Amino acid sequence: MSLFELRGLKFLSLSSNNFSGLIPMRALQNLKNLSSLDLSYNSLSIDATDTNVSSLSFPNITTLKLTSCNLTEFPDFLIYQSRLSYLDLSNNQIQGKIPNWIWKVRSLRYLNLSQNFLVKFERSLENIISSLNVLDLHGNRLQGKIEILPSNATYLDYSNNNFNSVLPAQIGDFLQFAYFFSVSGNNFNGSIPKSICCSLYLRVLDMSDNYLSGPIPKCLTQMSASLGVLNLRGNNLSGIISDTFPESCKLQTLDLNQNRLEGKVPQSLGNCKKLEVVDIGNNQISGSFPCHLKNISKLRVLVLRSNKFNGSIHCHKNNTGWPMLQIVDLASNNFSGKLHQKCLATWKGMQVFENEDQSKVKDIQFQFLEFYPNHYQDAITVTIKGLEWELVKILTVFTTIDISCNNFEGPIPEVIGTFKELYGLNFSHNAFTGSMPSFLGNLRQLESLDLSSNYLSGEIPLQLVNLNFLSFLNVSNNKLVGQIPTGTQLQSFSKASFENNPGLYGPPLTVKCVNASRPKNDSPSDSETGSIIEWNLLSVEIGLIFGLGIIIVPLIYWKRWRIWYFERIHRALSRFFPSLSRETKKHGRRANRNERRRL
Residues 6+ apart with CB under 8 A from 79: 55, 101
Predicted pLDDT at 151 = 82
Element holding 555 (H helix, E strand): helix 535-557
How many whole angstroms separate alpha carbon 437 and alpha carbon 460? Answer: 8
Distances (CA, A) of 497 to 385, 409, 476, 485, 501: 12, 22, 5, 14, 10
Task: Give the pLDDT score at 561.
Answer: 62
The domain ranges of the chain are: 1-50+58-158, 560-589
Pick the CATH number of 1-50+58-158 from 3.40.50.720, 3.80.10.10, 3.40.50.2020, 3.30.1360.150: 3.80.10.10
**pLDDT band at residue 145, thresholds of 50, 70 and 90?**
confident
491 alpha carbon, distance to own chain's centre: 26
DSSP string, 2-32: GGGG-TT--EEE--SS--EEEEEGGGGTT-T
Q: Report the range of poorest mean pLDDT among 96-105, 272-281, 420-429.
A: 96-105
Whether residue 535 has pLDDT greater than 60: no
Confidence band of 256 (pLDDT split at 50, 70, 90): very high
Contacts for 365-368: CB closer than 8 Å, 24+ residues apart:
366/203, 366/204, 366/228, 366/229, 366/252, 366/253, 368/179, 368/180, 368/203, 368/204, 368/228
Under DSSP, the state recorded for 424 is E
Q: Taking the complete model, does pTM exceed 0.85, yes or no?
A: no
Reduce the DSSP state of residue 265 to 3 states and report it. coil
pLDDT of residue 136: 95
d(CA 503, CA 34): 79
In percent, how much of the chain has pLDDT > 70? Answer: 80
Say if residues 441 and 467 touch (Cβ distance below 8 Å): yes
Q: Are 453 and 429 in contact (CB under 8 A)?
A: yes
- Interval 360-375 mean pLDDT: 74
The pLDDT assigned to 568 comes to 66
pLDDT at 538: 54
- Averaged confidence pLDDT in the chain: 84
pLDDT (0 to 100) of residue 54: 59
Residue 353 has pLDDT above 80, yes or no: no
390 or 109: whose pLDDT is higher? 109
- Residue 541 C-alpha from the chain's centroid: 58
One-letter amino acid identity for 72? T
Model pLDDT for residues 6-38, shown as the tens digit of each residue: 889 999 999 999 999 988 878 888 888 999 999
Task: Read off the pLDDT of residues 158-169 as tens digits, 9 standing for 90 and up.
Answer: 999 999 999 999
Q: How far apart are CA 394 and CA 352, in angstroms?
A: 18
| Phi, psi of 218, rounded to the nearest 5 degrees | -60, -30
pLDDT in tens, 561-596: 666 666 666 666 566 555 554 444 444 443 444 443
Q: Give the whole-angstrom CA distance, residue 506 versus residue 508.
A: 6
Who has greater pLDDT, 332 or 522? 332
Mean pLDDT check: name the lowest of 141-155, 227-241, 347-361, 503-517.
Answer: 347-361
The pLDDT, as a whole number, for residue 544 is 64
Q: What is the pLDDT of residue 249?
A: 94
Q: Is residue 597 over pLDDT 80? A: no
* Alpha carbon distance 140, 374 (integer Å): 22
Residue 52 — pLDDT band, cuts 50, 70, 90?
low
- Please give the average per-residue pLDDT across 484-492, as a whole number: 83
Q: Could you give the percent of the chain with pLDDT greater than 90?
A: 53
Q: What pLDDT was estimated at residue 56?
A: 63
DSSP, res 575: H
Q: What is the mean pLDDT of residues 274-296?
A: 95
Tell me which of 539 and 41 has the higher pLDDT. 41
Residues forming beta bridges with residue 301, ordered by sequence position: 277, 327
pLDDT tens across 59-104, in order?
889 999 999 999 999 988 888 888 999 999 999 999 999 998 888 8
Based on its alpha-carbon atoms, the radius of gyration of the chain, rounded to whole angstroms, reads 40
pLDDT tens per residue across span 396-423: 888 999 999 999 999 999 999 999 889 9
44-53, 267-276, 286-295, 494-503: least confidently modelled range: 44-53
**Pairing assessment for the beta strands 334-338 and 327-329 based on DSSP bridges:** unpaired
Q: How far, in Å, CA of 455 to CA of 433, rounded?
A: 5
Question: How many other CB atoms are found less than 10 A from the CB of residue 112?
Answer: 22
The Cα 446–Cα 586 span in angstroms is: 90
